[in-house]
Amino acid sequence: MFSPSHLASAARRRRLRAAIGLAAVAVATAAAMSAGRNAGAPPAPVELLDALSGGDTTALDATTNAFGLAARNLGREERRAFEIGDSLFTQNWVTAPASTANRDGLGPLLNAQACASCHVFDGRAKPPTDPDDPERGLLLRLGVSEGDTESPHPVYGDQLQDRAILGVDPEAQFVIDTTDVPGTYGDGTPYTLQRPTYRITDPAYGPLGRNLLLSPRIAPQLVGMGLLDAVPEAQILASADPKDADGDGISGRPNRVRDIQTGRAVVGRLGWKANVANTRDQTAGAFRGDIGVTSRLAPEEPCTPSQTACNDAPTGPTPQLDDEALDRVTFYVTTLAVPGRRNLDDPAVTTGARFFQTAGCTGCHTPTMTTSASDVTSAVEHQTIHPYSDLLLHDMGDGLADGKRDGRATGREWRTQPLWGIGLVEPINGHTRFLHDGRARNLEEAILWHGGEAVGAREAFRTADRATRDALIAFLESL
Ligand code: HEC
Ligand code: HEC
């Protein structure tokens, strides 16, 4: 059953644990001690208190650059490749033709000039306050519905590009309006959620029409992408329960998408609707759709036929990004480390871990997975990881529904968002905006928005006493 690399990896893992004084035994003891303090309560599962969320890749450095660190187990050559990828991820692209080789091809339509404009410090964006906000990390995906079918918008395409190069009109701007949604915790404490709606202003290519579908998406932190790529498909499918055969109210189904490189239909893993096959496809898609830089995997500029200035703009070489550059950025994103966990000996964290399980959060936020092979790097192979996601789609109710399909995902379904690193969003990105559109203003609101299949878990949280709710938040902040 165990391959030699498995054994080597286990040995490395033990050494790493020993080095940081977090041997599994010590963690188990801490859990047992804390359980002892709460007489009668079962001990928190040890897997919920493992510091090494990303296995051997875990970076044990919770500084403000903790989302931007290389996997801990990269060799020297790989570290160099990571750094080259980092510079391509961070640099601003410019309009073609430019004298700076390998940096041109921006636009004609675009949302931002660099990957890092949205994934600030490789982290999480927040919704813009107005159209001039330099914050670029909220995208509006577009479509039109006709009866039962959905297609990209005939003029505006599948994404609203609110920036453009000189001489080309940006497609439009948008403004976010919010409505208050009041509620009350079980102990009588009131709270107010904010539901966002999107108003498109200044459309430059004619009206958007009546059957418009909008799916807002915020840029998430990019930790552990290569590990998620390396989880075997069978493992994801094993927890799918589309007809809820076990009767726990939670179904979960995989999205199915095309792997652009191989052309094969595969289980989708990345994106808020698991609408992308892997990090390479996501990188090529982002270069094209968000920055306007084409590559072999995404060779068409984001101009629709009637956008003439866009079609006529000079583009430089085709594709604009060569395979080597695409590989380097892919390598960079694949090997971004998962941050190690903090405060595991805090009793609130242990209590929170236990409640995370009894409240039913683990029904979707799967604590543990294992990886197998990767075609990018052995660093992510054969790792025991704690992404807190099943990578499946769940009906999250009307409150979170965007009404727009994506692959097999319906307008009510979202991929269980991995929770690793979530506690570092505030120190790194300076805000606590969560969920697919950044509507939640803190972790409590993120949980209170859960509906549909997650109603039971949400209610367990809403009706819990204050100390238990705080403990759950302490647990999330330790991730
Ligand atoms: C204009 C803002 C923007 C830019 C620029 C951008 N991204 Fe993103 N990124 C997003 C958003 C929004 C999502 C979520 C997309 C979705 O759910 O469909 C995302 C998702 C991702 C994901 C998947 C994350 C996950 O948890 O599934 C990866 C990987 C990624 N981006 C890499 C990149 C790379 C590499 C670049 C540069 C080539 C880039 N992004 C540029 C906004 C941006
Ligand atoms: C039925 C599946 C399911 C259950 C049960 C569930 N979640 Fe989630 N969770 C999701 C999905 C799907 C999302 C993404 C929803 C979105 O962005 O609209 C999510 C998002 C989150 C987020 C925001 C993540 C981010 O990066 O923005 C937090 C925090 C969270 N869940 C915590 C919890 C906690 C705590 C519990 C238990 C009380 C729980 N969830 C139970 C499916 C579930």
Minimum CA distance residue for ligand 1 atom 38: 287
291 lines ligand 1 (CB under 6 A): yes
Q: Could you tell me the distance, in angstroms and rounded to a whole number, from the CA of residue 393 to the centre of ligand 1?
A: 19
Q: Does the CB atom of residue 424 touch ligand 2 within 6 A? A: no
Which amino acid residue places its CA nearest to atom 4 of ligand 2? 454
Among the listed residues 108, 158, 79, 30, the one whose alpha carbon sits nearest the alpha carbon of residue 335: 79
Give the whole-angstrom CA distance, residue 374 versus residue 388. 20
> What is the torsional sign of CA 309, 310, 315, 319?
negative
pLDDT in tens, the chain (479 residues): 333 343 344 444 444 444 333 333 333 334 444 443 444 567 788 899 999 999 999 999 878 899 999 999 999 999 999 999 999 999 999 998 887 767 889 999 999 999 999 999 999 999 998 878 888 899 999 999 998 899 999 999 999 999 999 999 999 999 999 999 999 999 999 999 999 999 999 999 999 998 999 999 999 999 999 999 999 999 999 999 999 999 999 999 999 999 999 999 999 999 999 999 999 999 999 999 999 999 999 999 989 999 999 999 988 888 999 999 999 999 999 999 999 999 999 999 999 999 999 999 999 999 999 999 999 999 999 999 999 999 999 999 999 999 999 999 999 999 999 999 999 999 999 999 999 999 999 999 999 999 999 999 999 999 999 999 999 999 999 99
Ligand nearest to the CA of 274: 1
Question: What burial class does residue 476 get, using C-beta atoms within 10 Å of its C-beta: 0-12 exposed, 13-18 middle, 19+ buried?
Answer: buried
- 471 CB under 6 A from ligand 2? no
Of 189, 191, 135, the residue nearest 162 (C-alpha)? 135
**Ligand 1 touching residue 457 (CB < 6 A):** no
Q: Tell me, using a 6 A CB cutoff, whether residue 363 lines ligand 2.
A: yes
Counting atoms of ligand 1 from 1, which one is nearest the CA of 137?
Answer: 2
Tell me how crowded residue 184 is: count the other CB atoms within 10 A of its CB. 10
Number of Cβ within 10 Å of residue 197's Cβ equals 11
Q: What whole-number distance in Å separates Cα of residue 85 and Cα of residue 80?
A: 9
